[in-house]
């Protein structure tokens, strides 16, 4: 970065730990085109993007300020939606990371749904009779959301079957 005509003068000793973390992450090395023999980043687009995230400008603040952010960046570059958010000047690293985390959480729906079913199945008659408004609202929301998901699944399957028969 110190050799870069645009960003070289912005380099500070604080960047050492950040770049040490970058070259220690295989996915980031690949994304940046790390050349181990020349000790340089060869993918100019991604390199410039990283430098910009490190320095920011008058219109966009820095997005990466520590080596810990590099660990988060590794997750972000693997997710196209999160990477797109990271590249948006109006969104932060935290915004991009939230996309990664929400998608990871969404993939865990099945065990959570099974646990909810067990809980509902094991609910006593007394508990059912004494449900408060909050409990009824949660059950109603669960019913509405599961119905919407099932409609979407059935519609997708119907479309897939139509495409196969054509």
Looking at residue 105, its pLDDT comes to 76
For the chain, the farthest-separated pair of C-alpha atoms sits apart, in whole angstroms, at 74
Question: Cα–Cα distances in Å, from 79 out to 59, 70, 91, 116?
Answer: 25, 15, 15, 29
Domain count, the chain: 2
One domain for residues 153 and 82: no
Instruction: Give the mean pLDDT of the chain.
Output: 91
Let me know whether 39 and 94 are in one domain.
yes
pLDDT value of position 96: 95
Same domain, 120 and 137: yes
Which of the pair, 69 or 104, is modelled with greater confidence? 69
Question: Is 154 domain-assigned?
Answer: yes
- pLDDT number for residue 166: 58
97 plus 65 within the same structural domain: yes
Q: Is 78 among the domain residues?
A: yes
Last residue of a domain, one of 106, 130, 153: 106
Considering the domain architecture, whether residues 88 and 144 belong to the same structural domain is answered as no
Three-class DSSP category at 108 = coil
- pLDDT category, 162, cuts 50, 70, 90? low
User: Do 101 and 37 belong to one domain?
Assistant: yes
**pLDDT tens by residue, 143-154:** 999 999 899 988
What are the backbone dihedrals phi and psi of residue 34, each rounded to the nearest 5 degrees, phi first? -60, 125
Cα 165 → chain centroid: 37
Residues 37 and 93 in one domain: yes
The answer to whether residue 124 scores a pLDDT higher than 70 is yes
Q: Specify the pLDDT at position 165.
A: 62
- pLDDT surpassing 90 at residue 108: no
Residue at a domain's end among 106, 121, 141: 106
Res. 31: pLDDT tops 70? yes
Across 105-114, average pLDDT: 80
Residues 50 and 119 placed together within one structural domain of the fold: no
Domain extent at residue 27: 8-106
34 shares a domain with 98: yes
Residues 81 and 99: beta-carbon distance below 8 Å = yes
Average pLDDT over residues 18-29: 94
Contact 69, 94 (CB under 8 A): no
Is the distance from CB of 34 to CB of 23 less than 8 angstroms?
A: yes
Tell me, yes or no, whether 134 and 160 share the same domain. Answer: yes
| 103 confidence band (pLDDT: 50, 70, 90) | confident
* Cβ atoms within 10 Å, residue 92: 16
CA atoms within 13 A on the CB side of 119: 8
Residue 163 has a pLDDT of 63
pLDDT tens-place string over residues 32-77: 999 999 989 999 999 999 999 999 998 889 999 999 999 999 999 9
On whether both 19 and 62 belong to a single domain, the answer is yes
- In terms of Cα–Cα distance, which of 66, 62, 70 is closest to 27? 70
Q: Does the residue 2 lie in any domain?
A: no
Same domain? 28 vs 84: yes
What pLDDT shows up at residue 106?
A: 75
Buried b (16+ CB within 10 A) or exposed e, 112-137: eeeeeeeeeeeeeeeeeeeeeeeeee
CA atoms within 13 A on the CB side of 32: 25
Q: Which of 66, 82, 106 is the last residue of a domain?
A: 106
């Amino acid at each position: 970065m110190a050799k870069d005509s645009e960003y070289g003068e912005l380099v500070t000793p604080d960047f050492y730990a950040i770049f040490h973390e970058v070259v220690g992450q295989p996915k980031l090395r690949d994304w940046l085109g790390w050349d181990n023999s020349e000790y340089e980043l060869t993918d100019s687009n991604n390199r410039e993007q990283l430098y910009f995230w490190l320095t920011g400008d008058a219109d966009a603040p820095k997005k990466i300020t520590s080596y810990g952010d590099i660990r988060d960046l590794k997750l972000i570059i693997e997710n196209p939606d999160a990477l797109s958010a990271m590249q948006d000047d109006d969104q932060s690293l935290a915004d991009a990371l939230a996309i990664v985390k929400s998608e990871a959480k969404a993939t865990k729906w099945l065990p959570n749904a099974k646990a909810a079913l067990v809980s509902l199945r094991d609910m006593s008659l007394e508990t059912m009779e004494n449900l408060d408004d909050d409990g009824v609202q949660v059950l109603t929301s669960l019913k509405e959301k599961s119905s919407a998901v099932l409609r979407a699944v059935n519609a997708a399957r119907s479309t897939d079957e139509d495409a196969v028969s054509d």
